[in-house]
Structure 1
Amino acid sequence: MRSARDAPVRVGVFGLLGSGNLGNDGSLEAVLGYLRSAHPEAAVDALCGGPEAVTARYGIPATRLHWYRGEYRTASRAGAIAGKGLGKLVDVFRTAAWVRRHDVVIVPGMGVLEATLPLRPWGFPYSLFLLCASGRLLGTRVALVGVGAAAIRSRPTRALVRWSARLATYRSYRDDLSRDALRAMGVDTTRDEVYPDLAFALPVPPADAPPGPPGPVCVGVMDFHGGNDDRARAEEIHRRYLDGTIRFVRALVEDGRPVRLLTGDDVDASVVAAILDAVDSPLVTAAAASSLADLMKETAAADTVVATRYHNLVCALKAGTPTLALSYAAKSDALMARMGLDAYRHPAREVDADRLLEQFRALERESARIRRTLTERNLVAARQLERQFTALTAALFPATGHTHAHALRETP
């Protein structure tokens, strides 16, 4: 008979993981690396959006986040609406049953406490609330680790986010803006800490040698339609973003610059196709990146990066490549400021190709200095993330041995 003290600690990871968003999966990869290094005895599994992808890529068991398979499809017919409604009820019990099997649940990074992109309260905010409420009721420690947060105007979404944060055992944030946003929503953040984004803990893979001058420019694109408060102007914002980006890429090609188009989510493929069709040049190619490691390899081989998605920026900055942000949210501005590139930002909602080209050329003139700055900032980020993982161990894995309430209940 195995005693409770000998039972491995059971750790769950939770979120929209394996669903096509490379940033979310990069945060998971960083946390799994920490667990395998600091807690190799832990038994790890996931409750996530894409369980098959998570199991295939990371080798851990995974369960589908939602009972209703059509959760993220628009429901217009009565059957679909009823299915979604029933799914919300079933997920209360499914989530609680999954949480009960764990000693610790980690939500790895991601913008789980924000609504900078279109978001409905009964979607992921509801799922996160079920997780945190179940953890509090069942005695399972729930940790929101290196997460993003932002001010939320929708009252139902804000309430769910606020209560999720309050019910969590541990919270840390990827920037000061996130902590300030939670405080403004009425959460006591006195004991919460801020660390760099978890993706800065990932190794930078070796890059292929660049083909020679002029070097490639990576342009990270996004299927951008504005945020949660921009639904009425979504198509106008998207059209302006796409037109400005096409003009910018065309100007680079006219200067003889090879351009590599990067994405960060499966939904971005339509933007890549539109740019390839509009510019129609052999100098413009699309990278087939399936992980943050692939993105870092692409950005490390580039002379310069211009990117929209937050984790495209993280990859480029982590790789030490001079980077210009097409910024769509305060989190991008905060990241650029942290890395010493506050001057190199351009609004994604109002892309002005001529002004963007001026900023790009200024960035390239300062390339050598910026690379030195990024080397220094990356060393600082690495040390800060070491402290993050040390703090996480102290909060979630107390040094009193693996005597867990769940194991005590189940030991015969």
Structure 2
Amino acid sequence: MTSADQTPVRVGVFGLLGSGNLGNDGSLEAVLGYLRAEHPEAVVDALCGGPEVVATRYRIPATRLHWYRGEYRTASRAGAIAAKGLGKLVDAVRTAAWVRRHDVVIVPGMGVLEATLPLRPWGFPYALFLLCASGRLFGTRVALVSVGADAIGRRPTRALVRWSARLATYRSYRDALSRDAMRAMGVDTERDKVYPDLAFALPTPPTSAPSGPPGPVCVGVMAFHGGNDDRARAEEIHRRYLDGTTRFVRVLVEDGRPVRLLTGDEVDRPVVAAILDAVDSPLVTAAEAASLADLMKQMAAADTVVATRYHNLICALKVGTPTLALSYAAKSDALMAQMGLAAYCHPAREVDAGRLLEQFRALEQRSAELRRILTERNLVAARRLQHQFTSLTAALFPAIDHAHAHALREVP
């Protein structure tokens, strides 16, 4: 509740949310948890990729991010190209009007300052720039919270990302690698902090150490085609990734291990189908996951996890299951090092089933030790994220709001 003379703070959340990527939605869920706990009086809505999903699942009003619904489809016909161009102009007006209605806008996590996967400058980078420029124009505080960043080679994308970061009111990064990348791109990061990924603030399902004979292995797959600079050989990279992963799954099955295939985005489903078709065995099954909570439940029940998507790795590490990363970007290596598993990374571009199997067996031999290490690292991550939420309140909300939030915490 707010006092009669106090207007509730208006908070917007922004990003490719509700679009099928479970990691993005997990970051949103973590920020909504923070807002509901610390600022229950705040009025929250979203400007996002999947407004219907966000409104239904998270019970907040949501507006579509792009006016043109075919924004992320390749435009080849003249009509589609014209519609995309018109959409850029319309989005500039729509974004400015939406930002102006808010006191605070939060971009919750996600790799919004990176181009480790194929990305066009006039897609999301342009949308983020519109957001941050509108915030500066209208005095709306824009926060990039625990976001990912990486060095960007292409000039248009790099310029949009750099200016978005410069125009934001608050910036924090999910690893030191991201902060270093923004500094290298010309952003003053002197006051920027590094905190764990927001997904580490989500509730953890009950877990238990395995007992008895070797149990199930979760394999998280990805529709991996390389990065933004790999477009010319994207199909070759994908075939090598799929072939190596399939060979690895086949060996596990030959050893009698149950394998559970997991995804992290709707676009990963064809990879699951291809592996199921190639490894025709009742020991290989696929799990339907609608959230990071669903993924964590699956991974908590496994002896070991081998995963590609960044937030698949986070889910496995968060529940304390020994994990091997099929790493497609430096952020995965940084995460594994942060959690004490730096030795268990394997390049997604060059999946060697034999070498991967050797790493997998070495990982399982240290299972009990690694579970203890992960328990300790998770406690540290949770404490650091709580510190970030305290800092976020001080940076974004008027003094009256965080005094009010403190009073609420004092109520028994």
| TM-score, with structure 2 as normaliser | 0.95
Q: Could you tell me how far 1:213 is from its partner in structure 2? A: 2.9
Gap change, CA 1:4 and 1:135, over 3 Å in 2:
farther
Q: Where does structure 2 lack aligned partners over 5 or more consecutive residues?
A: 403-412
Residue of structure 2 equivalent to 1:81: 81
- Paired residues for 1:221-260 under 5 Å: 221-260=221-260
Deviation track 1:119-166 (CA, whole Å, cap 9, x = no partner) reads: 000000000000000000000000000000000000000000000000
**1:392-403 equivalent positions in 2, closer than 5 A:** 392-401=392-401
1:399 Cα shift?
1.2
1:173 is aligned to: 173
Which letter does structure 1 place at the counterpart of 2:252?
L
1:285 match: secondary structure: strand
The amino acid that maps onto 1:66 is: H
- Contact 1:5 1:401 (8 Å CA) reproduced: no
Counterpart residue number, 1:130: 130
Q: State how far apart, in whole Å, the 2-side matches of 1:31 and 1:23 are.
A: 13
CA distance in structure 2 between the aligned counterparts of 1:401 and 1:289, rounded to whole angstroms: 37
Q: Could you say which residue in structure 2 is the equivalent of 1:389?
A: 389
C-alpha contact 1:117 1:228 (8 A) present in aligned 2 = yes
Equivalent residue number for residue 410 of structure 2:
none
Q: Structure 1: give runs of 5+ residues left out of the alignment.
A: 403-412
Displacement after TM superposition at 1:212 (Å) = 5.9
Taking the aligned partners of 2:295 and 2:75, their CA distance within structure 1 comes to: 34
1:35-55 CA-to-partner distances (Å, cap 9, x unmatched) read 000000000000000000001
Asked which structure has the greater RCO (Cα within 8 Å, sep 6+), the reply is: 1
Alignment of 1:241-320 (within 5 A): 241-320=241-320
Supply the distance in 1 between the matched residues of 2:232 and 2:72 (Cα, whole angstroms).
20
SS at match of 2:63: strand
Q: Take 1:205 and 1:82, find their aligned partners in 2: how far apart are those partners? A: 48
User: Is the contact between residue 121 and residue 156 of structure 1 (CA under 8 Å) also seen in structure 2?
Assistant: yes
280 and 100 in structure 1: CA distance in 2 versus 1, 3 angstrom threshold: same
Q: What do the CA deviations read for 1:259-318 (whole angstroms, capped 9, x no partner)?
A: 000100000000000000000100000010010000000110000000000000000000
Aligned CA RMSD, in angstroms, stands at 1.6
Cα deviation 1:48-84 (Å, max 9, x = unaligned) = 0000000110000000000001111111111100000
Instruction: Write the distance in 2 (CA, Å) between the matches of 1:401 and 1:267.
Output: 41
Preserved CA contact (<8 Å) 2:322 2:367: yes
Q: Given that residues 207 and 298 in structure 1 are in contact (C-alpha distance below 8 angstroms), is that contact kept between their aligned partners in structure 2? A: no
Q: Equivalent residue for 1:95?
A: 95
Which residue of the partner structure matches residue 358 of structure 1? 358
Contact 1:95–1:134 at 8 Å: present in 2 too? yes
Describe the superposition over 1:232-278 as per-residue Cα deviations: whole angstroms up to 9, x where unpaired: 11011000000000000000000000000010000000000000000
Name 2:341's counterpart in structure 1: 341
Output the CA distance in 2 between the equivalents of 1:79 and 1:343.
Answer: 51
Letter in structure 2 aligned against 1:184: A
Q: Which runs of 4+ in 1 moved over 4 A?
A: 2-5, 207-212
Distance 2:191 2:201 in 1: 23
Counterpart secondary structure, 2:306: strand
Task: Write out aligned runs for 1:63-74 (5 A).
Answer: 63-74=63-74
- Tell me if structure 1 keeps the 8 A contact 2:207–2:319: no
Query: Which residue of 2 is the match for residue 200 of structure 1?
Result: 200
* Aligned counterparts of 2:24 and 2:65: Cα–Cα separation in 1: 15
Following the alignment from structure 1 to structure 2, what is the Cα–Cα distance between the partners of residues 207 and 370? 14
Question: Aligned pair in 2 of structure 1 residues 34, 401: CA closer, same or farther (>3 Å)?
Answer: closer
Amino acid at match of 1:75: A
Secondary structure of 2:399's partner? coil
Say if 1:115 and 1:5 are closer, same or farther in 2 by CA, change over 3 A: farther
1:374 aligns with 2:371: no
Looking at structure 1, the residues matched to 211 and 222 of structure 2 have their Cα atoms a distance apart, in angstroms, of 26
Deviation at 1:341, TM superposition (A): 0.2
Q: Which residue of 1 aligns with 2:331?
A: 331
Q: Which residue of 2 aligns with 1:59?
A: 59
Deviation at 1:204, TM superposition (A): 1.0
Q: Cα–Cα, structure 1 residues 271 and 124, in superposed 2: closer, same or farther, change >3 Å?
A: same
Task: Please give the alpha-carbon distance, in whole angstroms, between the structure 1 residues aligned to 2:120 and 2:192.
Answer: 27
